[in-house]
Amino acid sequence: MIYSFNRQIISLFLIIAFTFSFSPKNVQAEVGFISVLQDSVKAEGLLEKSKEASKVGDYDRAMQLAQDAEKLYLIKNDDEGIAKALTYRADILIDQQLPDQAYDIVVDALERFSNTTQVAQFHNILGTTYSLLEEPLKAGEQYNTAMQYLDRLHETEANRLRAGILHNLAVIYRDMGQTEQALKNYLESIDYARSVEDSALLAVAYNNLGLAYSDNEEYEKSKYYLENSLELAKERNSQIDIYRAHLNLANTLGNMGEYEVALTNFDRAQDIISILRPGTDSPIIMHNRGATLAKMERYQEAEDLLFRSLKISEDQAINEGIYYNNFVIGNMYSEQARFEEAIAYLKKAESVAESSYNINLNIEVAKALHEVYAKNDDYENAYNKILKYSALSDSVNKVEKDRELANAENFLELGRQNEINSLLQEKQINQERQLRNQLILIIASLLVIILISVLLYKMKKASHEKEIMYDQLKRQKQELEELNKSKDKLFAIISHDLRSPLMSMQGMLSLIKNDFLTQDEIKEMVPELEASLQENSNVMEDLLAWAKEQLSGVELNLRLIDISDLTEDVLYSQKFIADKKKVDLNSESINVSDVKADFNALSLVVRNLISNAIKFSEPGDRITVSAEELTDHVIIKVKDEGIGIPESAKDKVFENKNWTREGTQNEKGTGFGLSLSKEFVERMNGKIWFESKVGEGTEFFVEIPKSLI
């Protein structure tokens, strides 16, 4: 992990981008005087130019243009226009990291223009000033207040501002450790930004969502959203957004081990910041670049950058910068066996951490000092540091915890309680549904018993009726036995095949949570966890499809389906299992016409065929998914090089719902997959069959019509 001290600074800085572009473009001018209209249009043009100047970092010109627009509005006594110009001025000050001056403008504006449509924007900007002043609870209150005034705006402008407020709240949640709530707000913010087609909002939202996923160590998702943010920023030529995207993308790439690409992105970020703020060195870029070089064991270059960043951080009293630079320098010296120097710098980091409210800093520096002392054979100090590390890990200072909980009560507790209530309500609904299903099964069983009793009574009256009833009872008995076997298998799967892997994963997560595992051990376990989760997901999908079919039947929605997209999604979901088993899973170029099918049903069919192919393949075998287009149909093919299907089992594959066999590595199955697949394919007016040779492999074929028959 790159020890970046820019998280809070960047998080607060990203909020800024959401305040500038939300001001309504609706200026309510007096109708009837052409000069008033002309001045209003001119003022509006000045504000647009101000926005463009701010976007490229020309803040002096941006401020002058906003003040010129304000003067025009003052001449016409246009309160709505004056208020709008003031929001622009406050935004520019925030972009320049001058929250105190922005605060004064907004507080005065709220007193003078409380009846304008800009009130929501005023509270949004005020929340941003509090964020920059490191008062997150006050910031949250202002954002929530801003929400209450959105009804003064037109729908499009209200949605645009709502997207920004949700984003700003997400930043606060993330900084306070409420990752789940932060992600929820980010995604909701993106939905609103898309609804108004605002690329400026989306660029910043994608950037911060990428940061959130990086904090959660979901680096692929982080990279995806940061790259999207970079593309949008380039389209708009927003230099500050391009800078942020390159900087955050560099950190994510560094965490993924793509060091050279990370360094390239740091260079691009530095090029842009040199244009936006000439003559200003960025301690953030220096630190992150230095930390990356240290990981690459380019220690001399890393040392130069880290010390330069440390000097700037000390001159500007940036405690996070002082901590992280000393911390990384200490760890770097430890890796070079320069233990005395490593201890000296880690102690400096420890001193900063002890004066900080962040208990996590104290924990990580205690652990680092323990490791250095142990390497240096100073076992007494190593023992003392591991005791401190354990004490900090086991409990957080109660007084500090109570204070934080009290501060967070008004702002976060309501959201937390709502979330808990929703979960409890959902749990209650699920329990009621289960009880209702059980009642249905009991009634159905009673009805069957009554029916059997009646049939037995009638069979005594006439031999002919006896024979008829006997045959009926025999068939019903077989169906009940089949259903009972399915039920037993279902419970067995739930109690063992699902529960056991989940308990295993719970144990792994407990080890990770309690820091019993190293980073390398955790990375080695991640593919196993991903594959196990996907295997459980496959079983759950089969069980849910079977249960729904048994209770009420699945209603298929036949429509045009893109085979290429569908197979790509399924291949992606099964890749973890294939990789775990070292099976080569790939698809040939699939460029065929769309078919008429139900997306979910066809996905289940293809997933079952691929899952079975993996199950019965040996490590090193190859599985190929392809498609062939005929006149009226498309044939999907799944071919493996596995153990094949014996002649004795070929009649059971599709027909027997309770028949299954273990895979090449003793994998188990539900027995429902292929029988469900056959049923779904036939209901989609298609056909399914296979060809197999023992020891050489199996190829399944799914024929789906291009149009409804």
Determine the pLDDT at residue 173. Answer: 78
Give yes or no for residue 493 having a pLDDT over 50. Answer: no
Q: What is the predicted pLDDT for the residue at 14?
A: 46
pLDDT of residue 33: 40
Radius of gyration (C-alpha) of the chain in whole angstroms:
32
Q: Where is pLDDT greater, at 341 or 177? A: 341
Q: Which residues of 557-567 are buried (b: 16+ CB within 10 A; e: fewer)?
A: ebeebebeebb
What strands, in cross-sheet order, belong to the sheet with 622-629? 584-587, 622-629, 633-639, 697-705, 687-693
pLDDT digits (tens, 9 = 90+) for 608-632: 899 889 989 999 999 999 999 998 9
Q: Which residues of 111-136 are buried (b: 16+ CB within 10 A; e: fewer)?
A: eebeebbbbbbbbbbbbbbbbbeeeb
Question: Mean pLDDT across the chain, nearest whole number?
Answer: 77
Q: DSSP string spanning 435-475?
A: HHHHHHHHHHHHHHHHHHHHHHHHHTT-HHHHHHHHHHHHH
Q: Is the pLDDT of residue 61 over 70?
A: yes
Amino acid at position 421, single letter: N
CATH of 553-705, one of 3.40.50.720, 3.30.565.10, 3.50.30.50, 3.90.226.10: 3.30.565.10
The pLDDT of residue 404 is 46
Q: What is the mean pLDDT of residues 683-694?
A: 92
Alpha-carbon distance of 663 to 614, in angstroms, equals 8
Q: For residue 635, what pLDDT is reported?
A: 95
Q: Report the candidate in 83, 49, 48, 89 with the shortest Cα–Cα distance to residue 67.
A: 89
- Residue carrying the six token digits 């407990």: 510
How would residue 504 be classed by pLDDT, with cut points 50, 70 and 90?
low
pLDDT at 553 over 90: no
Domain positions in the chain are 553-705
Q: pTM of this prediction? A: 0.44
Task: Label residues 421-445 b or e (16+ Cβ within 10 Å = b).
Answer: eeeeeeeeeeeeeeeeeeeeeeeee
The predicted pLDDT at position 466 comes to 65
Q: Pairing relation of β-strands 584-587 and 595-597?
A: unpaired
Q: Say how far apart CA 303 and CA 688 lie, in whole Å.
A: 64
Q: How far apart are the first and last CA of the chain?
A: 57
Q: Which of the four pLDDT bands, split at 50, 70 and 90, describes residue 492?
A: very low
Whole-angstrom distance, CA of residue 179 vs CA of residue 174: 5
pLDDT digits (tens, 9 = 90+) for 382-403: 788 788 777 777 644 444 444 4
Higher pLDDT, 481 or 169: 169
Q: Quick one: pLDDT at residue 657?
A: 59
Residue 687 has pLDDT above 90, yes or no: yes
Which residue's structure tokens are 């645009």? 160
- Residue 667 DSSP class: -
- The answer, yes or no, to whether residue 544 has pLDDT greater than 80, is no
Residue 540 has pLDDT above 90, yes or no: no
Query: 610 near 700, Cβ under 8 Å?
Result: no
What pLDDT, on the 0 to 100 scale, is given for residue 76?
A: 82
- Find which of 104-108, 214-218, 451-455 is predicted with most confidence, using mean pLDDT: 104-108
The answer to whether 599 and 570 have CB atoms below 8 angstroms apart is no
Structure tokens at 577: 């299992």
- H/E segment holding residue 634: strand 633-639
Read off the pLDDT of each residue in 164-172 and give the average, rounded to a whole number.
82
What letter represents residue 283's amino acid? P
- Alpha-carbon distance of 652 to 642, in angstroms, equals 19
Q: Which amino acid is at 662?
A: E
Distance (Å, whole) CA 14 – CA 17: 6
Q: State mean pLDDT over 77-81.
A: 87
Range 560-585 average pLDDT: 88
Per-residue confidence band for 633, with pLDDT thresholds at 50, 70 and 90: very high
Does position 636 have pLDDT exceeding 90, yes or no? yes
* Range of lowest pLDDT (364-378, 410-424, 528-542): 410-424
**Using 50, 70 and 90 to split pLDDT, how confident is the model at 479?**
low
Q: Closest by alpha carbon to 585, among 535, 655, 638? A: 638
